[in-house]
């Protein structure tokens, strides 16, 4: 990674992330001077940080996309999610009890990464209640995401995992699900093989449980679908 200057464009991206969004102007004007910041160019396939290392910085992806993987207890690599800019990541672990990162973050396209030291972030959060509030909200949302992910991976069969995914991602008060992954990345997300997933989806279509067009799934028999969870 190559260190670069913080441009006005990158500043705008920084203030779009939930942690620093909708701050009063006086805080915005002073924030950049109060944080110990560094900005880097990230190349595709760069490993940003690895599982098990200490979290000593706030990480913000200003441009690009990251893949998040963990090594489970059996030594298997499990894809957890994709991180798309602009977004902070690993934020709850900045002040966790052991301070270690639970996953490896790898760039899957060129991008821009901003970091801020743990010490400067702690001082800023201590002095600004609005940023503290945002930080606590983010931590809570991350816990919800973790629970959702575990719901999927705790299921044993391909169908059960796909059903949980559909129910978690469907639009509110509708039977429509817009899948955010292509079939290859969805298989990785569900920790199953692509052929097994494709076979199960085709079975569910033939059984009249769902219909699928592109990345849009419509649930036809919700009662039957919910029997698998």
Residues contacting residue 99 through CB under 8 Å, at least 6 positions apart: 54, 55, 56, 93
Range of the domain at 184: 158-226
Question: Do 159 and 166 contact (CB within 8 A), yes or no?
Answer: no
The domain spanning residue 27 has which CATH number?
Answer: 2.60.120.10
The whole-angstrom separation of Cα 61 and Cα 110 is: 11
C-alpha 170: how far from chain center? 18
pLDDT at 142 (0 to 100): 65
Q: Are residues 163 and 145 in the same domain?
A: no
Do 82 and 170 belong to one domain?
no
Query: Are 140 and 192 members of one domain?
Result: no
169 and 114 in a common domain: no
Same domain (yes/no): 116, 10: yes
Between the alpha carbon of residue 172 and those of residues 39, 80, 84, 167, the distances in Å are: 38, 23, 23, 10
Query: Residue 198: what are its φ and ψ, rounded to 5°?
Result: -60, -40
pTM above 0.75, yes or no: no
Query: Which strands sit side by side in the sheet containing 210-213, from one edge to the other?
Result: 176-178, 216-219, 210-213
Long-range contacts of 191-194 (CB under 8 A, 24+ apart): 191/76, 191/78, 191/79, 191/153, 191/161, 192/158, 192/161
* CATH code of the domain in which 178 resides: 1.10.10.10
pLDDT mean by block of 10 residues, the chain; 229 residues: 92 92 87 93 94 91 92 73 88 82 92 95 92 86 63 82 86 84 82 90 92 90 82
Shared-domain flag, residues 31 and 141 = yes
Query: What is the count of structural domains for the chain?
Result: 2
CB atoms within 10 A of CB 33: 7
Cα Rg of the chain (Å, integer): 20
Asked whether residue 27 falls in the same domain as residue 139, the answer is: yes
């Amino acid at each position: 990674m190559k260190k670069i200057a913080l441009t006005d464009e990158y500043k705008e991206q920084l203030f779009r992330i939930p942690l620093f969004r909708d701050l009063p102007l006086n805080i915005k004007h002073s924030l950049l001077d109060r944080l110990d910041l560094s900005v880097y160019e990230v190349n595709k396939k760069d490993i940003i940080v690895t599982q098990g290392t200490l979290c000593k910085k706030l990480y913000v992806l200003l441009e690009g996309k990251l893949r998040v993987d963990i090594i489970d207890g059996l030594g298997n690599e499990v894809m957890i999610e994709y991180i798309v800019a602009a977004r902070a990541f690993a934020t709850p672990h900045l002040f966790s009890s052991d301070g270690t990162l639970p996953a490896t973050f790898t760039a899957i396209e060129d991008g821009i990464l901003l970091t801020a030291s743990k010490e400067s972030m702690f001082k800023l959060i201590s002095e600004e209640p609005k940023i503290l509030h945002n930080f606590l909200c983010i931590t809570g949302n991350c816990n919800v995401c973790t629970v959702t992910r575990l719901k999927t991976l705790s299921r044993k069969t391909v169908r059960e995992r796909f059903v949980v995914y559909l129910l978690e991602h469907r639009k509110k008060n509708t039977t429509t699900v817009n899948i955010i992954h292509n079939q290859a990345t969805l298989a990785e997300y569900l920790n199953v093989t692509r052929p097994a997933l494709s076979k199960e989806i085709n079975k569910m279509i033939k059984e009249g449980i769902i219909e699928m067009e592109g990345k849009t799934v419509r649930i036809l028999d919700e009662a039957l679908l919910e029997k698998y969870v």
